[in-house]
Structure 1
Amino acid sequence: MKTTNEILVIDLEATCWENDRIPVGQKVDIIEIGICKLNLSSKTISQKQSIYVIPERSEINDFCTKLTGITPELIEEKGIYFEEACGKIREEYHAERLSWAGYGNFDREQVFEQCDWLGIEIPFGGNYLNVMEEFRDHFRLHKLIGLKRALNHLRMDFEGNHHSGADDAYNAARILRKILE
């Protein structure tokens, strides 16, 4: 299997608060890692999944649930700790051998921040591709635009639910596939 022919596309959902007002004593925590694999030769997108993550420094509030659809009950039922999620990504995707991508820099920065806080290795390979910047540059736009607007620009419908990590990752992979054609 040639791993250089594939790229992992991720999208994170994290604890959030109305007007970005983070309560004292809490920090932004990843609560979902949406991930899929884009094969650059066949142009197929595979291995799409959501990995739900137990927040260790904050709680999921009503605002966060309304935005993401992720409830404390869902996390209690399906969630694993972030360190375990990183191991799962390494094991299932051989992530350390692949480049990875996300729509914007938040996902990359949050992975780095949370790995640093826990003192663990980043589960992904070294090369990160910011799909938002690639899209802007490809179409020679003057500013960055969001995921849904990029899909509209390409006359593509959003597939799934916005702010579902797996669906956002899948749609970002669709955009990346289109601009690489």
Structure 2
Amino acid sequence: MSTPAALVNVVNVVDIEATCWDGEPPPGEVSEIIEIGLTTVDLAAGERVGRHRILVRPQRSAVGSFCTELTGLTQAEVDTGVTFAEACRLLEVEHQAGVRAWASWGDYDRNQFTRQCRATGVRYPFGRRHWNAKLVFTQAHGLRKRPGMAQALTIAGLPLEGRHHRGEDDAWNIAALVLHLAARNAWPSTPTTPADAYL
């Protein structure tokens, strides 16, 4: 069965922030998603058509000073967020995550969702069509090493909008890189992540 064109042309670009430390986590704590940034891209129109943010309340970790310095997020702010289970439900219901193609900068975001879903028994919210935008960018520009998002923006001649390491802003910037690649006819029609890499 062929995939409807609308589902091929519309991509959810996702970037997450998670609890983090300068070194090992404190005893009993694990890295958990605290922010999900999502920008919807219409490849056919060449536009970013939606910008979203979901704050997630951690259950087994706390936002410390290192994490706040990196992301700008505070414990008080993430305490206003939803549970991880509710965040995954919102991705499915409001952003069609289960059927829509999606992309992230590297595999960290996909792997963190996989780990956290397994650890919590929450249903994985995404479908099996994922593009690693960092890999695509590296190949399209003939680079020997895979660049970070900020470096890729410089290579592409694009501005870094907002704050780096803020999920909402990073997703917006990665979406600009996806459109940059699509404009060069370098965005592949088939996913870069194999189907057997999922839950």
Q: Which TM class, normalised by the smaller chain length?
A: over 0.9
Q: Which runs of 5+ in 1 are unaligned?
A: none
Name segments (4+ residues, structure 1) moved above 3 Å: none
* 2:119 aligned with 1:150: no
Q: What TM-score do the two structures reach when normalised by structure 1?
A: 0.95
Query: Is the 2:56–2:82 Cα contact (8 Å) retained in structure 1?
Result: yes
* Residue number in structure 2 paired with 1:179: 181
In terms of fraction of residues, the more helix-rich structure is 1
Shift of 1:152: 0.3
* Structure-2-length-normalised TM-score: 0.87
Identical aligned pairs, as a percentage? 36
**Aligned residue among 100, 123, 137 for 1:121:** 123
Q: Which residue of 2 aligns with 1:95?
A: 97
User: 1:61 — aligned with what?
Assistant: 64
SS at match of 1:97: coil
1:7 pairs, out of 5, 11, 17, with: 11
Which residue among 21, 27, 31 is the counterpart of 2:24?
21
Structure 2 CA distance for aligned equivalents of residues 135 and 64 of structure 1: 28
Superposition CA RMSD, Å = 1.1
Residue-by-residue CA offset, 1:64-118 (whole Å, 9 max, x unaligned) = 01111111111123x0001100111111111111111100111000011111111
- Structure 2 stretches of 5 or more lacking a match? 184-199
| Residue 44 of structure 1: how far off its partner (Å) | 1.3
1:127-175 alpha-carbon deviations (Å, 9 max, x no partner): 1111111100111111101000000001111011111101100100100
Cα distance in 2 for partners of 1:75, 1:46 equals 26
Q: Tell me, what secondary structure is at the counterpart of 1:96?
A: coil
Of 30, 34, 37, 1:31 maps to 34
